[in-house]
A and B are shown apart, each in its own frame.
Chain A
Amino acid sequence: MLLEVNHVEKVFKTRFSNKTTIALRDVDFSVDNGEYIAIMGESGSGKTTLLNILATLERSTHGQVLLNGTNITNIKENDLAKFRREHLGFVFQDFNLLDTLNVRDNIYLPLVLNRETVQAMKMRLDMLAPQLNISELLNKQPFELSGGQKQRVAVARALMTKPDLVLGDEPTAALDSKNSDRLLNLFEKINDQGQTILMVTHSSVVASHAKRVLFIKDGMIYHQLYRAERSVSEFNKEINLAMSTILGGN
């Protein structure tokens, strides 16, 4: 088992009052190596909080998260960054490229932080660039790229370290439908090569590209669907059906 999420709970306290908000009630699921999972929910469902906990950007109030058997909720503050850059890759909706670096250096960034040699970085990039169709972009500055190009660069950066798990936070939210499709196809391709991917989204279209969909509402996983041999559009229909019956039923 690559990732085990055991009874995770997250409670937020407002700073000046004793009012508490429960973001995650009791989240419990696991992910196998090579899976492609979408966590689906509406805004306020707690999906971003969950992702942030998996990303070690936030800590859970109760419960455990094990990645390859390591309890990531126990990692010391100072070691978190190192853990993140060695085991996790991130693709965010607003790309999060550094304006100060050109495309190549943005992609190199995690490996530079790992103090790897230039040759190793170059080798890895030479492999990834054609696949992601970014070979021509390497010497440009981020602001010269379109949204779709930026997101492919962000994917390249996420994959550079050969992470155990790629985390996506609404990765297509800032893209038009064409670029969004391209990115999702790319994710499928990467997943076919064995990369485990977990993303959160509110869109059934996006979720329908995944192999398994977890539905989250009010801080709990309510339901899950496997895509199995279904096509994307078939799966999309089923997701929508599940959404309206299970989640939206009021």
Chain B
Amino acid sequence: MFYLKLAARNIRQSFKNFLPFLLATSTMFVMSYVLAAIAFSPELNQLQIQPKTVSMILMVGLAILAPFSIDISVYAYRFLLKKRSREFGLYDVLGLGKRQITIVALYELGMLFLFTMGIGLVFGISLAKFLFLIFVTILGGHVFNLSLTILSILEPLAVTGITFILLGIVVSWTIRHNSSLSLLHSENKGEREPKARVKLAFLGVLLLAIGYYMAVTVKSGETAVKMFAISVLLVIAGTYLFYMTFTIWYLQRQKKGRRYYRPEKFITTNAMLYRMKQNAIGLGNITILITMTIVTLVTTVMLQVGVSQATLKNMPYTTTLNALGQHSGEEMSSKDSLPSEKQFNRAVATAAQQSNVSITKGISYVDFGSQSVKVNDSSHPKITEITQSDAQNAQTVQIISRQTLIKMGNNVPNIGKNEVLIHNDNGHFNPDSITWFGHQLVVRGQTDALKNFPIAQFNSGNTSFIIVAANDQVVQQLIDSQNRMIRDGDPYQLPIRQFLINLNQTDSAKLVDAFTKLTDENMARYSVDRYSYLKETLSTLSGFLFIGFTLGLTFVLGAALIIYYKQIAEGEQDREAFRILQEVGLSKKEVSRTINSQIRLLFFTPIIIAVIHFAGSYVMVSKILTVFGVADSQLMLTVSAIVIVVIILLYYIIYKVTSRSYVKIVQRQV
């Protein structure tokens, strides 16, 4: 009981020393809790797009967070211990045995654990609810609700529990393996200059190089998704190794350099070298957290913005009505599946009449769909094989007639029966001629940008092009020859009749409603109202946005925490150096300039490397986005730039705020 009281008294009396530690452990708990609350929430399945991917991303986030949270707690605890070992030493000198001191320390840890849980749960639950509230208010998402599950508390509880058990081991070990005298003096314990481990240094650089290479050379979106985790792991390992070994190796090379004995370099190089060993992990953590924040935010913002843009591109008209013929029997040709023009127009007209919407500005045409085929790299490619969209040399090809394009208001030059134009949506296909399943076609050139044409949304994100043929009859022939080559399992390409028109929101809804309700007509009807489609898609996606911002916030919080710790730890060290340098003959101004430049350098290294990491992942991230149908490289650049600027700003604010605590410590005695 005495020890318990002593422990409680210790915490009360030097609460100032315990506070940063509690801040660290509770923040880590809150972060884990918020992520777990989403990852294990049963509502996750209501996200219509890829719920598995989302929960996988969150699991990866949790998996990264767990060791990281243990790491930072141990770091914070050792920092606390360093300050307190004098007290422990004193107990020892005063005759409290090591065993008893350990018991007191363990009691302290037990209480700190309870504090952490209390603070963590209160803030965790409120933060999760708060974030969710903001999310609902801003985005009007109604799909995603957060319910409190046992699992979402158990996960952070387990991580925190393991952390505190580890801390117990750390403190027992420290007390046992230090004599009372060294405990008394351990605050001023120096460190040996780190050894450069050249092999490990280059292994780090090699890992980074491989990770980058994988990310940059990735071909399709699907492989990108599969390889993402591997390259991320490589880059994470490489980053830690880089900080732990390469920077030390580099700085030690600097020491051998000719310019080493210049005042600026002399002090900075040595101070950085001294710090690098202590802080390599911290710098690595910050770098990785910032990189993850950038990637997460870019991805989610791209999804949100990109999907609506892609929707506008795929649906240039507000209202789409289309129809396939009803067919019976096994054998079918593409012609059979198409309802007659008269039949289709009559149905559209009826719907217009019933809904009282004017359709004079509408366009009616045949959409022949798209197909993935094998295209060799040649100026006279011979196309004979239908293939899967993610196969090698696969290109997605859509064939349309010149008439259709002209109906939509495009300017298309006149072409003959065996002549075609090529439109590249995403790629650089520009041959002299094509053999299309037996048809010799001369390529007359490339078309300009197409307007008002609904370009099919290709999920695979591989390259695609459009063949423009003279008229619908020619297109029909080309499609027929192609369909003759279909083998079992290949997708069959069905043409559909399309009616497109721009209407206001109410008219669009009315027309779509009437068209859907038509009876008979002997055809399968489909219709899309862009207004409601967008609304629905975006509300689903806002779930992603919420998760993205929560993850981003979590990572930024983690980075801020490490930075704060670095600042106060470095402040303690620099205070002494600050004084000594002044006595030896460096002016106050020079000293603060030197120290500032050191800190700036150490501070901005992580963000520079994080931006480089992101640049490395750029290709891979954009490929992954194509899986979600977002493939706008211009948009990607803009979003990335904005996200990076915002992160740098945020980082700078964290730097300014935390460096104030640094300056306070440094100037305490000067």
Contact = CB atoms under 8 A, between A and B. Distances in A.
Chain A binding surface, main DSSP class: helix
Given A81-B587, A143-B189, A115 B263 contact: yes
A98 B585 CA distance: 13
B586 interface: yes
A84 B261 CA distance: 20
A113 B189 contact: no
Nearest to A83: B585
Given A81-B585, A85-B585, A142 B190 contact: yes
B270 A100 contact: yes
Interface string A159-178: 00000000000000000000
Contacts of B585: 81-82, 84-86, 110, 113
When A and B form their complex, which 7 residue pairs have the shortest distance between CB atoms, in order from nearest? A85-B585, A143-B190, A81-B587, A100-B274, A96-B580, A100-B270, A84-B585
B193 A105 contact: no
Interface residues on B, range: 20 to 34
Interface string B577-592: 1011111111111100
B580 A98 contact: yes
B590 A81 contact: yes
Given A85-B585, A99-B274, A112 B266 contact: yes
B192 interface: yes
A98 B261 contact: no
Interface of A: 55, 57, 77-78, 80-82, 84-86, 90, 92, 96-102, 105, 108-110, 112-113, 115, 118, 121, 141-144, 157
A80 B586 CA distance: 9
Interface in B349-365: none
Interface string B180-219: 0000000001111100000000000000000000000000
A12 to B, nearest CB: 16
Contacts of A112: 261-263, 266
A108 B270 CA distance: 13
B190 A141 contact: yes
A94 to B, nearest CB: 9
B496 interface: no
B271 interface: yes
A208 B191 CA distance: 38
Contact of A105 (B192, B266, B579): B266
B274 A102 contact: no
A97 B587 contact: no
A98 B589 CA distance: 19
A121 B273 CA distance: 23
B592 to A, nearest CB: 12
A101 to B, nearest CB: 5
Nearest to B255: A105
Contacts of A84: 583-585
B271 A100 contact: yes
Contacts of B193: 102, 141
A55 B583 CA distance: 8
B584 A113 contact: yes
A82 B263 CA distance: 13
B380 to A, nearest CB: 69
